[in-house]
Chains A and B, each alone.
Chain A
Amino acid sequence: GAGVSQSPSNKVTEKGKDVELRCDPISGHTALYWYRQSLGQGLEFLIYFQGNSAPDKSGLPSDRFSAERTGGSVSTLTIQRTQQEDSAVYLCASSLELAGDTQYFGPGTRLTVL
């Protein structure tokens, strides 16, 4: 079946604007993860969902970042009042269960904040 999909693939925005990034996990995967890949910080965990709840939000860098998941499927990562340091590739991954299963990654959304 289809893999993890993310949209948009690229997003250019102006500092101070809000952006929404979308992730469609693999069908049937109950766990969903958001990571960020940037030059200075490497690959960083942001948040994970088990079903619609988020047991671990420890990686969200500030209260400008939020995420939700509805229907146990699609997730949206929202960044409010974007800053230049938010520029990065935002990756979504999904897995069947918890730590015991492989996380499958999507192609990412490249966010550029001007």
Chain B
Amino acid sequence: AQSVSQHNHHVILSEAASLELGCNYSYGGTVNLFWYVQYPGQHLQLLLKYFSGDPLVKGIKGFEAEFIKSKFSFNLRKPSVQWSDTAEYFCAVNRGMNTGFQKLVFGTGTRLLVSP
């Protein structure tokens, strides 16, 4: 079965530190990749997504992610975090278009705490 692994469950950083959150998936075919964020008390919001093309994807709020097909990875990065980045981050995958498998499979999430 398709699965998504996020290896960091809790991350604590100081403001201005760099961030990298790992995400690996198990499916070998064409995939669409997403990072969602859930700020405290808010609903899931899309940070960025990869469907095809340039494997380095830029998202909102200075986030970016790199798709490395050979490593089945889609790690999230930010050069300098802010206190407002405190949130839970979810990596998600679904299969390519026209396959009939549209559901998102989520990782277990990473809770990021940024201290001022």
Contacts and interface: CB of A to CB of B under 8 A. Distances in A.
Q: Do the two chains belong together in a single complex?
A: yes
Interface of A: 31, 33, 35, 42-45, 48, 50, 55-56, 58-59, 91, 93, 97-100, 102-108
A42 B36 CA distance: 14
Interface of B: 32, 34, 36, 42-46, 49, 51, 90, 92, 94-109
Contacts of A102: 34, 46, 49
8 contacts: A43-B104, A50-B102, A56-B102, A59-B103, A99-B94, A99-B97, A99-B99, A105-B45
Nearest to B105: A45
B90 A43 contact: yes
Residue with the greatest number of chain B CB neighbours at <10 A, chosen from A42, A56, A108:
A42
Given A42-B108, A42-B109, A43-B90, A98 B102 contact: yes
A61 B79 CA distance: 41
Contact of B97 (A42, A55, A100): A100
Contacts, number: 61
Nearest to B32: A99
A108 B92 CA distance: 18
B106 A100 contact: no
Contacts of B105: 45
A102 to B, nearest CB: 5
A100 B34 CA distance: 11
Contacts of B45: 105
Contacts of B103: 33, 45, 48, 56, 58-59
Nearest to A104: B46
Contacts of B90: 43
A45 B43 contact: no
A44 B109 CA distance: 12
A33 B104 contact: yes
Nearest to A50: B102
